Amino acid sequence: MNIETGTVSAVIVGLLILFLGGSIWIGIALFLVGMGSFFIFTDVSFGSILANIAWNNTSGSAMMALPFFIWMGEILFRSKISENLFKGLSPWMDAIPGKLIHVNILASTFFAAVSGSSAATTATVGKITIPELEKRGYDHNLSIGSLAGAGTLGFMIPPSMMMLVYGIIGDVSIGKLFIAGFIPGFMIAFMFSGYIIVRCLISPGLAPGGGESHTWKDRLLALPAIMPVVILVLFVLGSIYMGWATPTEAGALGVIGALFFAFATKSLDWKVFSVSLTGAVKTSSMIMLIVMGAAYLSNVIGFMGITRTLTKAVTEMGLSPYMLILILSVLYLLLGCLIDGFSMIVMTAPIVVPLVEAAKFDTVWFGIYLVLMIELAQITPPVGFNLFVISGLNNDGLGRIARAAFPFFTIMLIAAALLTVFPEIALFLPNRMIGK
Kindly report, residue by residue over 355-384, the tens digit of the pLDDT.
Answer: 788 778 999 999 999 999 988 988 887 767
Selected residue with higher pLDDT from 340 and 152 = 152
pTM of the model: 0.71
Residues 6 or more apart whose Cβ sits within 8 Å of residue 218: 91
pLDDT tens track for 98-127: 888 888 888 788 777 655 667 777 877 887
Taking the CA of residue 203 as centre, how many other CA atoms within 13 Å lie in the half-sphere pointing to its CB? 8
Selected residue with higher pLDDT from 128 and 71 = 71
Mean pLDDT to the nearest integer, 6-27? 73
CB atoms within 10 A of CB 381: 18
Give the domain ranges of the chain.
61-286
Mean pLDDT (the chain) is: 81
Using the predicted structure, report yes or no on whether residue 310 has a pLDDT greater than 70.
no
Point out the least confidently predicted range of 52-66, 100-114, 248-262, 312-326.
52-66
Instruction: Say what percent of the chain tops pLDDT 90.
Output: 18
Judge whether 288 and 58 are in contact, CB under 8 Å. yes
Give the three-class secondary structure for 338.
Answer: coil
Using the predicted structure, report yes or no on whether residue 44 has a pLDDT greater than 80.
no
pLDDT tens track for 72-98: 878 877 787 767 776 777 788 777 888
Peptide bond connecting 159 to the previous residue in cis, omega within 30 degrees of 0: yes
What is the model's pLDDT at position 435? 45
pLDDT tens track for 194-204: 999 999 999 98
- The region, left, alpha or beta by phi > 0 then psi within -120 to 50, assigned to residue 61 is alpha
- The pLDDT-based confidence of 30 (bands split at 50, 70, 90) is confident
Point out the least confidently predicted range of 158-167, 280-289, 397-406.
158-167
